């Protein structure tokens, strides 16, 4: 088995209305000999957000008294905290310079995913409103432009409990089951697996990060070829979320 990962660069700044599908197809033609059926296209959430107009000028944000207090306690910019609180269902943890929230999509992350890195000067980028819907639209548009049936993963960077460093994970999925359920399969010694569920979409997002990188959005797309996955027209990254009552860290 061979897996290939190709980085796809974009020329210029991504702005609202940017034709991301066309850029992906053209970039894949340059970098990956074109798209093929069964490929997985991984796109960073930030680029999707920019194309969808999810960029906010911080000068237009009026922090609440609570946001001001949280900003003082965490050392963050009040405007960024205000945006994070607007995007949050609840505050999960706060302290040591961190603001951990459960956002409106159900993801638990720092600052509700609000980010000022790789954003236009004086602006912050919010996560897509519905990353799964964004992934589905992008998959459909790629099929129209290229005539290819691919899976799409929208990735975002997250920290991990009890582990240092950050990795990219899937927050939006289209065309592939995000989890491969291996329960009931036999291992090399005949033992029947009882709890083995592989987060394939997260693995793909992390693999893409090897060519996308954390520091630059000049290469915000990856084409992954050779990964076997189960097609699913109704796929959702939401299936990767663990219910609160099952989480040992909350």
* Tokens standing for residue 204: 């793909």
CATH class of 4-48+128-240: alpha beta
Q: What is the pLDDT of residue 162?
A: 82
Q: Which of 18-32, 84-98, 189-203 has the lowest mean pLDDT?
A: 189-203
The average pLDDT across 18-39 equals 96
| Domain assignments of the chain as residue spans, ordered by start | 4-48+128-240, 56-124
Q: What is the pLDDT of residue 216?
A: 52
Q: What is the pLDDT of residue 28?
A: 96
Using alpha carbons, select from 163, 180, 236, 169 the residue that is nearest to residue 209. Answer: 169
The average pLDDT across 182-194 equals 74
Q: What is the pLDDT of residue 247?
A: 73
Q: Is the pTM of this model over 0.75?
A: yes
**R_g (Cα) of the chain, nearest Å:** 19
pLDDT averaged over the chain?
91
CATH class of 56-124: alpha beta
Q: What is the pLDDT of residue 30?
A: 94
Q: What is the pLDDT of residue 243?
A: 78
Tens digits of residue pLDDT in 116-154: 988 999 999 999 999 999 999 999 999 999 999 999 999
Contact 140, 151 (CB under 8 A): no
Q: What is the pLDDT of residue 140?
A: 97
Q: What is the pLDDT of residue 245?
A: 77
pLDDT tier, 215 (very low <50, low <70, confident <90, very high otherwise): very low
Q: What is the pLDDT of residue 242?
A: 82
pLDDT tops 70 at residue 196: yes
Determine the Cα–Cα distance for residues 198 and 202; give it in Å rounded to an integer. Answer: 9
pLDDT tops 80 at residue 241: yes
Report residue 220 CA to chain centroid gap: 11
pLDDT tops 60 at residue 233: yes
pLDDT tops 80 at residue 250: no
Tens digits of residue pLDDT in 66-114: 999 999 999 999 999 999 999 999 999 998 889 999 999 999 999 999 9
Contact 148, 122 (CB under 8 A): no
């Amino acid at each position: 088995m061979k897996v290939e990962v190709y980085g796809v660069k974009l020329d210029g700044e991504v702005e609202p209305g940017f034709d991301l599908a066309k850029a992906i197809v053209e970039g894949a033609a340059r970098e990956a000999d074109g798209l093929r059926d069964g490929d997985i296209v991984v796109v960073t959430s930030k680029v999707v957000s920019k194309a969808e107009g999810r960029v906010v000028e911080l000068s237009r944000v009026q922090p609440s008294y609570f946001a001001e207090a949280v900003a003082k306690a965490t050392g963050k910019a009040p405007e960024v905290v205000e945006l994070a609180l607007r995007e949050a269902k609840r505050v999960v943890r706060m302290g040591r310079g961190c603001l951990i929230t459960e956002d409106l999509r159900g993801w638990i992350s720092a600052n509700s995913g609000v980010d000022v890195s790789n954003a236009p000067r004086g602006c912050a980028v919010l996560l897509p409103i519905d990353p799964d819907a964004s992934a589905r639209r992008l998959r459909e548009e790629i099929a129209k432009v290229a005539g290819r049936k691919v899976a799409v993963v929208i990735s975002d960077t997250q920290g991990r409990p009890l582990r240092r460093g950050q990795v990219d994970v899937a927050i939006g999925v289209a065309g592939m089951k995000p989890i491969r359920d291996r329960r009931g399969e036999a291992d090399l010694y005949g033992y029947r697996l009882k709890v083995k569920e592989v987060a394939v979409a997260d693995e793909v997002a992390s693999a893409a990060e090897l060519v996308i990188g954390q520091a630059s959005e000049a290469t915000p797309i990856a084409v992954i070829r050779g990964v076997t996955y189960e097609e699913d027209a109704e796929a959702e990254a939401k299936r990767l979320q663990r219910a609160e009552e099952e989480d040992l860290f909350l």
